Structure 1
Amino acid sequence: MDMVKFFHMNGGIGDASYSGLQRMGIMKTKGVIEQAVSDLRRSNVNFPKTLVMADLGCSSGPNTLLVGSMVINAVTKTSFEMGLKSPEVQINLNDLPTNDFNTIFIALQELQGNTTNGKIRDVPHQPSCYFTGVPGSFFGRLFPMKSLNFVHSSYGLQWLSQLPELEEINKGNIYLSSTSPESVSRAYLEQFQKDFLGFLRCRSEVLMAGGRMVLTLAGRTTDDPRVEESNRLWGPFAMALQDMVFEFTPSPTEIMNLVKMEGSFTIDHLEIFDVNWEAWKRMKNGNDASELKETDDGVAKAIRAGIEPLVANHFGEAILDDVFMRYGKCITDRRSNKENQALVSITVSLTRKM
């Protein structure tokens, strides 16, 4: 399958758009993002007149501009504390060409309707902000040499650039499980290593010396990719659909080893945390039984937003409603059995070596 041609998040702002789970993960990393931007600003009094950032795998919908706003606020606050004028901010929004960039541009147009000369009204010391859409795969070069100060990516890097060649069939699974052959697990790890190293090399070329990068991706706490912890989302989906896997969730050790192997970055901060989808819904509405059922529906919709194009291309659009309805029911059944309902996530903050 040509992943660049077919893989994208669902666009728009409807029920099947990419939103709740990703937003919760982004909000948990807000402090890491703000600290990285603040450190970047403080590291150089003679900072360039424009801070140039890239949000890789930006998707489209309610969360697309969330990280950009965090960066703008952080650089504005830090500059004010330093008694300096804030640099202008250029935000490059990147995703695959099939992403719904039209929705992003419409949202930007609405935002610009509340601005004057690129500045948001009634916000003191707000720098001028400029946005650009950059279609293309982040596993390749997207920007000129030494052109970026800050790079961010949220829940994109666990997706592989392509399916690895397998010596054996991962029979009966759509994910790496305890029954997956060791050769299958090894093939996915090798593909992830190749992709992640390529990602780091491309970013090392386009980040200025001392530039920062914050990456968040689905992960696991152990070094065994076949443990149940890695499959809290895909286990239930396997009950509704068989024979598809495109994701590899790494451990912190694997991330650290690859960063060290590539050699262009130092790790400033690395943490692992859970995004609990029951807590996500309770945070919004409460915790009675009907609202927990809504949680399961919301998780199914969030995952549908992420993989619907892949399922449709592989099996056809006719099965979509049925398979994701079954998926929501499987999640409900697992919750009834008191299984842990959380997505393990890893965030790493890096600095480009001088």
Structure 2
Amino acid sequence: LSTFKGWFPNYIKVAELGCSSGQNTFLAMSEIINTINVLCQQSNQNPPEIDCCLNDLPENDFNTTFKLVPFFKKELLMTNQASCFVNGTSGSFYSRLFSRNSLHFVHSSYSLHWLSMVPEKLENDTENVYISNSSPQSAYKAYLNQFQRDFTMFLTLRSEEMVSNGRMVLTFNGRNTFNSDPLYRDCCHFWTLLSNSLCDLVFEGLVSESELGAFNVPFYDPNEQELKEVIQNQGFFEINDLETHGFDLSHSKRDNEEDN
């Protein structure tokens, strides 16, 4: 929102892509509106009207979300002067969602690691639902290529929908760049656990081998370099700030063992 520091238009359109449902749907929107209100107060300017667009797939529970809108607005009125209008936009963010040159700010948190589809050519990785240390290199390349196509499409579509000098804040579930092995997945042990559990079900005869081989998750955890390459190759956006935050799973495991 530094683009508008010192000057705000009379109307701002903000989109939350992958909003999910429940009270945490409004956490980011609340922070955005509070920031706008503070900046307006600092510049002695009347706050703009804010159009808050909540987006997710059509299967999302929008009814529950909309029931929480009155509580969201009530809390805003206690601390903000800005007028806020909330609406829902269903559809995949890998498709056009908004009219051209209409969005000022886009936020997406822990959604873009979901792909538009399961990659093709995973026939040689039948015992894993996602990339693991035992996967062939072809599985990594298939997932990476699908992510590159999807994220390029996402950026292209948003470049059409956003105003000049608009801003996006995107948070990914990613992996670190310290390990050069593309099959190493420091943040996705849960997929390995799921694969092992399904293999046990196959051994017990509860799931067939063909069913396990046909099941893969449309997920990809990019590292910093892979993100930069897509953004730079696509060419419509510049990176103002890129931060990585780690979580020590081994430390968390030790804590749990001590608690038990």
Do the structures match in fold with TM over 0.5? Answer: yes
Query: In the alignment, which of 33, 36, 47 is matched to residue 86 of structure 1?
Result: 47
Q: Specify whether residues 84 and 276 from structure 1 end up closer, same or farther in structure 2 by C-alpha distance, changes over 3 A only.
A: farther
Q: Distance in 2 between matches of 1:67 and 1:277?
A: 26
- How much does 1:288 deviate? 7.7
Distance 1:86 1:137 in 2: 31
| Runs of at least 5 residues in structure 1 that lack an aligned partner in the other structure | 1-36, 281-286, 294-354
Residues 287-302 of structure 1: matches in 2 within 5 Å?
A: none
Residue 109 of structure 1 aligns with which residue? 70
Matches within 5 A, 1:103-182: 103-112=64-73, 114=74, 120-123=76-79, 125-166=80-121, 168-182=123-137
CA RMSD across the alignment: 2.2
Q: Which residue of the other structure, out of 173, 193, 203, is the alignment partner of 1:236?
A: 193
What SS does the aligned partner of 2:78 have?
A: coil
Percent identity between the two aligned chains:
39
CA–CA distance in structure 2, aligned partners of residues 212 and 41 of structure 1: 10
Aligned-residue offset at 1:276: 5.9
Q: For the structure 1 residues 278 and 251, does the alpha-carbon distance in structure 2 shift closer, same or farther, using more than 3 Å as the test? A: closer
Answer yes or no: is 1:270 the counterpart of 2:242: yes
| CA distance in 2: counterparts of 1:88 and 1:40, whole angstroms | 17
- Structure 2: give runs of 5+ residues left out of the alignment: 200-211
- One-letter code aligned to 2:235: G
Q: Which residue of 2 aligns with 1:251?
A: 223
The 5-angstrom pairing of residues 320-339 of structure 1 reads none
Cα pair 1:97 1:136 within 8 Å, conserved: yes
Q: How far does the alpha carbon of each residue in 1:288-324 deviate from its partner, in whole angstroms, 9 at most, with x for none?
A: 869x56xxxxxxxxxxxxxxxxxxxxxxxxxxxxxxx
One-letter code of the match for 2:137? E
- Partner of 1:241, secondary structure, is helix
User: Match for residue 197 of structure 1?
Assistant: 152
Contact residue 225 and residue 249 of structure 1 kept, 8 A: no
CA distance in structure 1 between the aligned counterparts of 2:235 and 2:243, rounded to whole angstroms: 20
SS in 2 for 1:174: coil
Whether the 8 Å contact between 1:57 and 1:156 is mirrored in structure 2 is yes
Q: How many residues align?
A: 241
Partner residue, 1:41: 4
Measure the CA separation in 1 of the matches of 2:251 and 2:103: 36
After superposition, what is the alpha-carbon deviation per residue over 1:225-265, rounded to whole angstroms, capped at 9, x for unaligned?
A: 31031422322222223543221110100101110111111
- Partner SS for 1:138: coil
Q: Is the 8 A contact 2:137 2:183 kept in 1?
A: no
